Structure 1
Amino acid sequence: MSVLITALLCGAVVGVALGALGGGGGVLAVPALVYLLGVAPSEAGTTSLVIVTATSVTALVRHAGTGNISWRTGSLFAAAGVLPAIGTSALAHRIPQPVLTSAFAVLAALAAAAMLRGTRTAQRAPAGDGGAAVGPPARPAGRNGPLGTVAAGAGLGAVTGLLGVGGGFLAVPALVSVLRLPMRKAVGTSLVVILVNSVVSLATRLTVTGISLDPAIFGPFVGAAVLGAWDGRRLAAKLTGTALQRAFAVVLLTVAAFMLIGVIA
């Protein structure tokens, strides 16, 4: 299979994931770039951030008119992650790739476990988010307040800069499990966080490392991902909040297992 076709197929999958789930773009893009397209690990994170930035803009525009974005929470969450993202982006190229890959996989698996735990609780709650509420019914959305938002945002910014992902695979679980947003609103709000974190991390990486990107790979990848993000939003509208959470968790567990196998092998 040619590089062009592989890049187009991978981009489409990443775009659909980002549009439907509000995350999973970077966590899918990095292994696809390394294992399927032969991009050097040192460049995969930076290339991934270009891809995630472009697709998150598209997905955010698509979600903007749905009422499923909490702009205040998303802005505060993202702002808290700016400085940590800058710091870890500058350090990322100094850390051995197996260490980064293992950390990536472990975090993805933990996030998946949190999402699956949330679906079990949601089944006992009254309908309120596409047929299923998310999180314990006794705790309303946003109860943890600004301090919880800032703490979660700072941690996510650090992960984004370090691993070269938009952070959606952790932003959505954090917004659902920590801040108690309904799944659909967490998906939309996470796109604000992903966009800010990606732009900050990308700018820092390009400034510090000066890595050049291969347009033959990320051009087709980005184009297909942008189109896939539009289709992903339509897919999300057809699924319940619980179904979206389960789909997200399955994606995360699959990627985590794949990457850990790659480190061990």
Structure 2
Amino acid sequence: MSVLIAAAALPCGLLIGLLLGALGGGGSVLAVPALVYLMGQSPHEATAGALVVVAVGAVSGLLCHARAGRVRWAAGATFGALGTAGSFAGSRWSAALDPGVLMAAFSVLMLVVAAGMVTRGTRKSERADAEAGSENRSENASKNRSENGSETTAKESPPRAHPARLRDAVCLREATRLRQAVRRSSSGRPTGPHISRTSPAPRPRPLRTIVTASAVGLLTGFFGVGGGFVVVPALTLVLGLEMPIAVGTSLLVILINSGVALATRAGTGSLDWPLLATLAACAAVGSHLGNRLAGHLRPRTLTTSFAALVAVLALAMAATTLTGL
């Protein structure tokens, strides 16, 4: 590894780690372009070497989420094990593909990642605005109630209801609840105003789980990326995990898939281990710094800027690759 390549690996690794730590995923997609265009690696070597960076980033993030209790080890290990066949097939397929076609496909993947990050950032911003609006409305309602309560106490107190009327109202309410319970037990589902708003957990579908896990493994093995933008929604929709749990568990799935893909590619060509070790170490340091900076930056601005950078790089890669075909 020359001095110039080492000098290029330091800022690239830090940038990848910063994005991983600040955004929680997506930064590893920059590892392949950096290895190809800045460090002189071939597309096959780059997609294989990027798995080292992905694995190191997954380990560091997994430790943080595990300490916070946001990892479902059994579910993640099962989902990752089901994706090993897809990871093996994707690695073999990528190694046999023409380098130009591989880079053209990777540029398409980068555009998909950029669009997905913009969509996810927009949804998070809309959700945050809706929550802030509901909080403001509840605060205004409580203020109005307190003001109306103070005015009512200042005035003459309203007449109290007769005890017999209160007893009749209670009996009527209890009879209504009893009729609703009878209807629920006979129909098998809740009716009336007591319908539960919590969505039930999805029923386990083995075939759907196997297909989804294999597709995730195929993506990791073929492109050499973690695929967190696919793993997290898959764990949420297929296994019914909550979003924070899905994010932490996805790192276990990524670690398993990247490990299988790296072991599959180990015999297909030589890897520059000193270069990859330097890049991965810088990415680990940058991920730690990104976690600290995440609370001081506007998430939507950071996500939009990163998506724009990925889109520009994807278009440049596509133009370079298509002219060389």
TM-score bin (small chain): 0.7 to 0.9
Q: What do the CA deviations read for 1:148-186 (whole angstroms, capped 9, x no partner)?
A: 544332211111111122223433455568778666544
- SS in structure 2 of the partner of residue 23 of structure 1: coil
Q: Distance in 1 between matches of 2:246 and 2:301?
A: 14
Q: Distance in 2 between matches of 1:255 and 1:142?
A: 40
Contact 2:83 2:217 in 1 (8 A): yes
Give the TM-score of the pair, scaled to structure 1. Answer: 0.78
Quickly say closer, same or farther: Cα 1:153–1:258, change in 2 above 3 A: farther
Q: What do the CA deviations read for 1:79-129 (whole angstroms, capped 9, x no partner)?
A: 231101111212221111122222222233234334433444444547899
Contact 1:140 1:180 in 2 (8 A): no
Quickly say closer, same or farther: Cα 1:214–1:233, change in 2 above 3 A: same
1:225 to 279, 283, 295: 283
What residue is the counterpart of 1:135 in the other structure?
none
Give the TM-score of the pair, scaled to structure 2. Answer: 0.66
Contact 2:26 2:113 in 1 (8 A): no
Quickly say closer, same or farther: Cα 1:125–1:189, change in 2 above 3 A: same
AA paired with 2:293?
Answer: L
Larger radius of gyration: 2
What residue is the counterpart of 1:213 in the other structure?
271
Correspondence 1:31 to 2:33: yes
What residue is the counterpart of 2:214 in the other structure?
154
- SS in structure 2 of the partner of residue 64 of structure 1: helix
What residue is the counterpart of 1:16 in the other structure?
18
Quickly say closer, same or farther: Cα 1:19–1:122, change in 2 above 3 A: closer
Quickly say closer, same or farther: Cα 1:123–1:26, change in 2 above 3 A: closer
Aligned-residue Cα RMSD (Å) equals 3.6
Q: Distance in 2 between matches of 1:242 and 1:140?
A: 28
What residue is the counterpart of 1:45 in the other structure?
47
2:85 to 63, 72, 83: 83
Correspondence 1:204 to 2:206: no
Which one has more relative contact order, counting CA pairs under 8 Å at least 6 apart? 2
Contact 1:88 1:161 in 2 (8 A): yes
5 Å matches for 1:102-117? 102-117=104-119
* More divergent stretch after superposition (63-72 vs 218-227): 63-72
* More divergent stretch after superposition (231-240 vs 75-84): 231-240
Once the 2 structures are TM-superposed, how far is the Cα of residue 195 of structure 1 from its aligned partner? Answer: 0.7
- SS in structure 2 of the partner of residue 30 of structure 1: helix
Contact 2:43 2:102 in 1 (8 A): no
2:103 to 98, 101, 115: 101
- SS in structure 1 of the partner of residue 266 of structure 2: helix
AA paired with 1:26?
Answer: S
* More divergent stretch after superposition (239-248 vs 23-32): 239-248
Q: How many residues align?
A: 257
AA paired with 1:20?
Answer: A
- SS in structure 2 of the partner of residue 2 of structure 1: helix
5 Å matches for 1:44-193? 44-125=46-127, 143=202, 146=205, 148-172=208-232, 174-175=234-235, 184-193=244-253
Q: Distance in 2 between matches of 1:108 and 1:141?
A: 35
* More divergent stretch after superposition (8-17 vs 160-169): 160-169
Once the 2 structures are TM-superposed, how far is the Cα of residue 197 of structure 1 from its aligned partner? Answer: 0.9
* More divergent stretch after superposition (176-185 vs 29-38): 176-185
| Identity value in percent | 39
Once the 2 structures are TM-superposed, how far is the Cα of residue 236 of structure 1 from its aligned partner? Answer: 3.8
AA paired with 2:215?
Answer: G
Q: Distance in 1 between matches of 2:128 and 2:82?
A: 33
Contact 2:43 2:103 in 1 (8 A): no
Q: What do the CA deviations read for 1:69-88 (whole angstroms, capped 9, x no partner)?
A: 34455334322311011112
Q: Distance in 2 between matches of 1:197 and 1:74?
A: 11
